[in-house]
Amino acid sequence: AQSVTQLDSQVPVFEEAPVELRCNYSSSVSVYLFWYVQYPNQGLQLLLKYLSGSTLVKGINGFEAEFNKSQTSFHLRKPSVHISDTAEYFCAVSVTDKLIFGTGTRLQVFP
Amino acid sequence: NAGVMQNPRHLVRRRGQEARLRCSPMKGHSHVYWYRQLPEEGLKFMVYLQKENIIDESGMPKERFSAEFPKEGPSILRIQQVVRGDSAAYFCASSPRQNSNYGYTFGSGTRLTVV
């Protein structure tokens, strides 16, 4: 069965520092992977997705993620974070007609 | 071009009452998904509907919960005889296609509090 593991429940970081949010998946079939962001009291917004092709995927707000099949990972990165990036980030894998989400990583950016 | 609209944004119910959550998908989207987010947890799939059909309800609790997506009007998630454990954020998402590979568009959610 497909599943998603987000290894860090919280990631504190100072403004303008780089950040990496880790995501590992398990799947016996071809995977399609997503990162969503959830700002406080809001719904989820799609950051980026990997369907096929280049393993480096660029998304909105300066985020990017790299699909690594051998390590079954899809880590999210940003070279320089901003206070406004403070939010909850969810990794997800597509399973036919639905998305399976990880438990989320809370990114806290400090000034 | 309005996004996915959910209402109400906040809903308070006493134990034993009914909760009705509404979701209007994006224009042109005929596939609707309901997810539940318990405090400090990720989103859990509940049900996937297409107009007038339930496609996948594998995540729905067996009792008290039901969902519909009529030919006209919004999708409704109905919770009968609510209990404290039903307190959560309920998110609706829609897509133009059956396959979730393209991702969804999410609404802002309904936060249900059972007192």
Q: Read off the pLDDT of residues A69-95 as tens digits, 9 standing for 90 and up.
A: 899 999 999 999 999 999 999 999 987
- Write phi, then psi, for B41 (nearest 5 degrees): -130, 170
| Domain A3-110 CATH assignment equals 1.10.3720.10 | no
- Residue, of A98 and B32, whose pLDDT is higher: B32
Per DSSP bridges, beta strands A64-68 and A73-78 are antiparallel
Which of B41, B43, B54, B92 is the best mutation test for A, with the most CBs of A within 10 A? Answer: B43
Q: Is B42 within 8 Å of A102 when comparing Cβ atoms? A: yes
Residues linked to residue A66 through DSSP beta bridges, in sequence order: A56, A75
Q: Read off the pLDDT of residues A15-27 as tens digits, 9 standing for 90 and up.
A: 999 999 999 998 7
Of A106, A43, A23, give the one whose Cα is nearest residue B7.
A43
Q: Which residues of chain B have a Cβ shorter than 8 Å from any chain A Cβ?
A: 4, 6, 33, 35, 41-45, 48, 55-56, 59, 91, 93, 98-109, 111
- One pLDDT digit (tens) per residue for chain B, 115 residues: 568 999 999 999 999 999 999 999 998 888 999 999 987 778 899 999 998 899 999 999 999 999 999 988 999 999 999 999 999 999 999 988 776 666 788 999 999 999 9
Identity of the residue numbered A74: F
List CB contacts (< 8 A) between A43 and chain B.
4, 6, 91, 106-109
The answer to whether the bond into B61 is cis (omega within 30° of 0) is: no
Of B8, B10, B48, give the one whose Cα is nearest residue B29.
B48
Q: What share of chain A is helix, strand, coil (3-state, %, to 5)?
A: 5, 55, 40
Proportion of chain A above pLDDT 90, given as a percent: 72
The residues spanned by each domain of chain A are: 3-110
Which 3 state secondary structure label does DSSP give A110? strand
Burial classification of residue A47, based on how many CB atoms lie within 10 Å of its CB (0-12 exposed, 13-18 middle, 19 or more buried): buried
